[in-house]
Amino acid sequence: MRGSVQGGLALAGGAVVAASTAGEVTALRPDGHRGVRALWRTSVGPVYRRPGVTADGRLLFVPSADHRLYALDARRGRIRWTYRAAAPVLSSPLVTRVDDRETVLFTAGDALVALDAESGRRIWAADGHGFFAGRPACDGTRIYTGGGDGRARAFTAATGEQVWERELATGDEHRRLLYGPWDDTILLGGDAVLVSTVAATWALDQGTGAQRWTVAGSAIYAPAVLLPGDPLCVLLITEWGVVTRVEVATAKVLWQTSLGVRVMNSGAAVRDGTAWVQSVDGQLIAVDLSDGAAGGRLRHGLSYCFSTPVAIDDVVIAADQDGVVRGIRVGAA
């Protein structure tokens, strides 16, 4: 692809969607042992974050540094509508339901915006109180984000009115931006919202923002992953390649392992009890989710990787800064 694939890959109806900093958006479908088939290609503005997808896989929402959010038909790649924001769209859109309406949530600059997914009509826009480049979370009633002012916040999903805020980083404006919760995917687990900073991951009460627990480590960059089951757990990956499985209810660390690599934005694809972690230097590393044991390890390229991989059946798809998308057939860890 032209440009770098810096945003994470997305899955839509069995296809892998990659978007590049040159504005190229491509849908690829793995084709058994014969490789991959390109379904379509579309040009938009420069893309730096992962696209959002509707639950049925019909629509893609591609964020761009040209101040626009693009809605694309996932089958053909045609642009359905565009929304022009007041700043570059450098966050990952979330597609969710609010009041029985499919809604797209994203940030642009300091603004948090809610759009109708079908029409692109703006429902509301609110002051997010600081730059946020991650993906918000929503439980249908409230929306949760981080911010470059060092705080995490909750907003009423129907109106954008702020409900609570919690300070997670202090100091002058530069220190709050550097160390605050401005990146990563915000996750919901149980009745808590999980927010990461450069220093730690925090579990906050969804209703009040009160602290439940905190786990040390710079897990702000690689997206955390919820691991369903009993107990409900979260997989945290630090920028230094330390992978930790934590119980959401108690903050109990079940295991922790160090991969000895840097992991920046790229994160992991989870499949069949294995987390396939993508490192900055182009390594794909298998981590057994039961005990944290590191298994297979493959360097699939020589370029830096800042894009979260995805898994389809027995193939993990990864992309790099040279714009190369690769499908790697994987087995057990």
Digit-coded pLDDT (tens) for 250-309: 999 999 999 999 999 888 999 989 999 999 999 999 999 999 999 889 999 999 999 999
Q: What is the mean pLDDT of residues 58-68?
A: 97
Number of domains composing the chain: 1
Q: Name residue 274's amino acid.
A: T
Q: Which domain holds residue 95?
A: 85-220
Residue 199 lies in a domain: yes
Mean pLDDT, the chain, as a whole number? 94
* Contact by Cβ (8 Å): 60, 52: yes
CB atoms within 10 A of CB 315: 18
Residue 99 lies in a domain: yes
Percent of the chain with pLDDT over 70: 98
**Single pTM value for the model:** 0.94
Angle formed at CA 263 by CA 265 and CA 135, multiple of 5 degrees: 20
CATH of the domain at 178: 2.40.128.630
Residue 134 lies in a domain: yes
What stretch of H or E contains 173?
helix 173-179
Q: What is the mean pLDDT of residues 3-22?
A: 93
Q: What is the DSSP letter of 3?
A: S
Percent of the chain with pLDDT over 90: 87
Residue 178 lies in a domain: yes
Residues 6+ apart with CB under 8 A from 313: 30
Helix (H, G, I), strand (E, B) or coil at 32: helix
Tell me, what's the pLDDT at 269?
95
Tell me, what's the pLDDT at 32?
66
For residue 24, pLDDT over 80 is answered with: yes
Residue 157 lies in a domain: yes
Tell me, what's the pLDDT at 190?
84
